[in-house]
Amino acid sequence: MTDFVARRRLNRSEELAAKGWYHSIEFPDGTVTDGLNSLERLKTRVAQMPIPEDLRGKRVLDIGAWDGWFSFEMERRGADVVAVDCVEIENFLYAHEARKSKVDYRILDMMELDPRELGYFDIVLFLGVVYHLKHPLLGLEKVCTLTRELAIVESHVNEDPDAVPGYPRLEFYEHDELGDRLDNWFGPSLECLLALCRTAGFARVELRDASDDRGMVACYRKWTAEPSGTYPALVLNGVHHNRNYGFNFYTNRDEYVSCWFTPPDGVPSRDTVYTEVSGFGV
């Protein structure tokens, strides 16, 4: 068995069950739970995220919070935090009470996340969730909808050494092929994870870490600062519905806007055209 296949079959459920905690959590009396993720490892992960130390005045959403270390860390930095999980985690409740936390804890399915109920967030944490979803791109689109500035997406990645380079790959697990677990559905390659985040609607994405068969991506809703100087404008010839060329769109359908334009100089590409809708890059 190759190292790649062995890593894919690795099951840490027994180790997690023995420890009882996934996150190592600090308590006011100085004690720290012995979680599957050490305190040092958690601090290393958060240091890889382009998130300021001072988050006062910011709203943060932590999707799939589990024991809550990242939720409590964002709260420590001054943010107004909403933590979401699909089931109630006793460890989170225990840590929440022990830390006298004010994090708003919600039990919601990924498909139930709606800005009309939760509002919008400056920062969204989406850590270790993508590969648990049957519909990963739909989940990422929901994350994008909720995000105003930055989302951090972390996922298991499938870097098959025998794969053809240059082609994003998404491996599907019907049964327990990944970690002997039934709740793992997909293994994207790093290139695929980046492409999924772009396709979900983020203006630009940045790979922050690729280690231990995991990838961490910073996803931004806006382009970088506009270049200085004056440039000739594109000539917009038409904006229509991609299917029927009309102007009526339905939010419960998979519909798109098609744009036709003429460049004044040269041929436009994805790397030279920076479109915006309502102030967000797309």
Q: What is the pLDDT of residue 148?
A: 98
Q: Tell me which amino acid residue 112 is.
A: E
Q: What is the pLDDT of residue 254?
A: 86
For 74, 139, 214, the CA distances from 199, given in Å and listed in that order, are 27, 12, 20
Just give the CATH number of 3-220: 3.40.50.150
Q: What is the pLDDT of residue 274?
A: 82
3-state secondary structure 130-176: HHHCCCHHHHHHHHHHHEEEEEEEEEECCCCCCCCCCCCCEEECCCC
| HSE-up (13 A, CA, CB side) for residue 72 | 24
Contacts of 116 (CB under 8 A, 6+ apart): none
Structure tokens at 230: 């004056």
Ranges of each domain in the chain: 3-220, 235-272
Please give the chain's pLDDT, 282 residues, in tens: 466 666 666 777 888 888 899 999 999 999 999 999 999 999 999 999 999 999 999 999 999 999 999 999 999 999 999 999 999 999 999 999 999 999 999 999 999 999 999 999 999 999 999 999 999 999 999 999 999 999 999 999 998 877 888 889 999 999 988 888 888 999 999 999 999 999 999 999 999 999 989 999 999 999 986 656 666 777 888 888 989 988 888 878 888 888 888 877 777 777 777 888 889 998
Task: Write the burial class of residue 13 (CB in 10 Å: 0-12 exposed, 13-18 middle, 19+ buried).
Answer: exposed
Integer Rg of the chain from CA: 21
Q: What is the pLDDT of residue 95?
A: 97
pTM for the full model?
Answer: 0.91
Strand partners, 37: 23
| HSE-up (13 A, CA, CB side) for residue 123 | 26
Structure tokens at 232: 């000739």
